[in-house]
Structure 1
Amino acid sequence: MTEIRRCPDCGVTMEAMRIQTAEGFSLQLVTNERKKGLLGGLGLKEKLEPTAYVCPECGLIRSYAERDESE
């Protein structure tokens, strides 16, 4: 779920956008934390998908790592 974020410069609501490469692949952030369960026991690391928030007024871009709190 994406949050409502406001531009610190303009005060308007920023638009959530997905970040991807020119080839259409999603970017991922790999943490030093192990995944939960069996995959973490095998040494796999947690991966987060960043969401970009763009100000429609000034063009400011901020990226946030969205964590899934249900896991």
Structure 2
Amino acid sequence: MKLVFCEYYERVADAFEREKQVQGWSRKKKQALIVGDTNLLHKLAECQNETHYTRWLASTPLSQQKNAP
């Protein structure tokens, strides 16, 4: 096994909370964290279900929807 990412916290409770947060992430999101790709990390953090997408369409001007996924 090899250490690929490390964060330091002053309090054990903070480190434990962060560990539990990251454990719930997808493999792709964890890989983005490891390589430091914050743009991808934010994209993967977005809700991608149909409800989110329909709400986005309703609140986004047509000019921006052309670039929609």
Alignment TM-score, normalising by the size of structure 2:
0.18
Q: Which has the larger radius of gyration?
A: 2
Larger relative contact order (Cα-Cα within 8 Å, sequence gap ≥ 6): 1
Higher helix share: 2
Higher strand share: 1
